[in-house]
């Protein structure tokens, strides 16, 4: 679908081949939009995101079995993050979760697909997330539905965002806290490192009204180009861009945040628990600083090399207003984080020098808890 905000003055649409097509890419100056997010406040139209509503008296217990997160005790007015994994624990879909007025809302990237529970269903063993959830209902007292036509996502970011929003609604102060909006929908506090960020799920017919109210109040109109740069800076991965068909939650910083390691069975849970308790993930996500002195740039899926050895995969590539050209990448644990790397496909003449941002390297958590327990039992 195409957002009506594309008809507003200054809106530049995302390219047709972009995953963010259908919403504004920027409003004339994407670097200024990034700076405004860091210093004041911006508003981003993310109404291309898919929204799924899950009402029903067994909504929490059912989602607890279907998704990777612990949800049985999620209180009304609170949210979290969650994943759908395949049977091998590989990431299929990531979503934000909000429990509001007796309904659980899931919002995720547009056209999100997951591995079907039944290979005979879907195309090449894949199906849309709404179809997958519907197929997993069985006899549970839930009625999941695609609510994308009902709700649209707007995102307000920046140190002034909360204060401006407070002129229109109660603003949630805690991480993932949810508060209702006047006229329907809700606002959710989203952890985004140090940057204050709020998602507003507004009735789709009120999308332009909310946009105009907030921008008239002083929030700068912004596009997904700025949002993506800030997302990369915040080390928040995106499925299909920063993941491949082998990615597991541990590699992406999603353990505890979106995947619970100790709850009962869910699809892929064995891998999650095993790697957490007795192993370490084979790769880790880091931020790469790219050589900006050349005109070429790596693309999503390109290799990362250390010398002649392939040590990783390039994910999202962005131009940041302060950091310059940067990218998220999945690197093997054995890859040096203090050496010079090359990111990009040399056969396509787009390989550039790259260096790992040391602050992005996940801390080593030491020996897995399962191994520590075994060693204690053995008296080591």
Q: What is the mean pLDDT of each run of 10 residues along the chain (380 residues)?
A: 95 95 97 98 98 98 96 97 96 98 97 84 82 92 97 98 97 98 98 94 98 98 98 97 97 96 88 90 97 91 97 98 97 94 94 96 68 45
pLDDT at 366: 56
Kindly report the CATH number assigned to the domain that includes residue 14: 3.30.1360.120
The answer to whether position 192 is within a domain reads yes
**Range(s) of the domain holding residue 300:** 281-364
The residue written with tokens 């989203």 in the block is 190
E strand residue ranges, 210-363:
220-222, 283-290, 303-306, 309-320, 324-332, 341-343, 352-356
Q: Is residue 92 part of a domain?
A: no
Q: Are 45 and 166 members of one domain? A: yes
Q: Return the pLDDT at 118.
A: 75
Question: Is there a domain that residue 90 lies in?
Answer: no
Which of left, alpha, beta for 179 (phi over 0: left; psi -120 to 50: alpha)?
A: beta
Domain identity same for 229 and 164:
yes
pLDDT value, residue 368: 55
β-bridge mates for residue 146, sequence order: 52
Which pLDDT value is given to residue 293? 85
Number of domains in the chain: 2
Same domain, yes or no: 293 and 183: no
Residue carrying the six token digits 């979503």: 95
- Distance, C-alpha 152 to centroid of its chain: 17
Give the pLDDT score at 264. Answer: 76
Q: Enter the pTM of the model.
A: 0.94
3-state secondary structure of 150: coil
CA dist., res. 71 & res. 80, Å (int): 9
Asked whether residue 227 is assigned to any structural domain, the reply reads yes
Tokens 């931020």, located at residue: 287
Same domain, 153 and 214: yes
């Amino acid at each position: 679908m195409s957002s009506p905000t594309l008809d507003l003055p200054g809106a530049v649409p995302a390219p047709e081949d972009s995953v963010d097509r259908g919403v504004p890419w920027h409003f004339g100056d994407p670097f200024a939009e990034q700076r405004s997010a860091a210093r004041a406040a911006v508003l981003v139209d993310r109404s291309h995101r898919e929204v799924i509503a899950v009402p029903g008296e067994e909504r929490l217990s059912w989602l607890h079995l279907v998704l990777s997160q612990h949800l049985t005790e999620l209180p009304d007015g609170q949210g979290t993050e969650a994943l759908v994994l395949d049977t091998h624990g590989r990431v299929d879909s990531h979503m934000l979760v909000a429990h509001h007025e007796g309904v659980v809302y899931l919002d995720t990237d547009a056209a999100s697909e997951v591995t079907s529970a039944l290979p005979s269903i879907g195309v090449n063993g894949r199906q849309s997330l709404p179809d997958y959830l519907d197929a997993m209902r069985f006899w549970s007292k839930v009625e999941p539905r695609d609510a994308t036509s009902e709700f649209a996502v707007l995102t307000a970011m920046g140190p002034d965002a909360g204060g401006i929003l407070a002129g229109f609604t109660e603003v949630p102060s805690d991480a993932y806290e949810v508060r209702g909006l006047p006229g329907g929908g809700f606002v959710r506090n989203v952890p985004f490192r140090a940057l204050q960020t709020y998602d507003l799920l507004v009735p789709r017919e009120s999308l332009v009204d909310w946009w105009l109210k907030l921008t008239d109040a002083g929030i700068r109109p912004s596009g997904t180009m700025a949002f993506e740069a800030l997302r990369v800076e915040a080390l928040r991965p995106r499925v299909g861009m920063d993941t491949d068909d082998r990615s597991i939650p541990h590699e992406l910083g999603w353990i505890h945040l979106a995947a619970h390691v100790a709850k009962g069975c869910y699809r892929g849970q064995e891998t999650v628990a095993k790697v957490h308790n007795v192993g370490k993930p084979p790769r880790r996500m880091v931020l790469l600083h790219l050589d900006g002195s050349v005109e070429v740039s790596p693309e999503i899926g390109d290799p990362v090399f250390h010398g002649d050895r392939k040590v990783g995969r390039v994910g999202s590539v962005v131009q940041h207003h302060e950091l310059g050209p940067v990218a998220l990448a999945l690197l093997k644990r054995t890859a040096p984080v203090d050496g010079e790397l090359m990111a990009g496909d040399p056969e396509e003449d787009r390989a550039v020098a790259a260096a790992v941002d040391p602050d992005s390297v996940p801390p080593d958590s030491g020996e897995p808890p399962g191994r520590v327990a075994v060693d204690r039992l053995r008296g080591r």
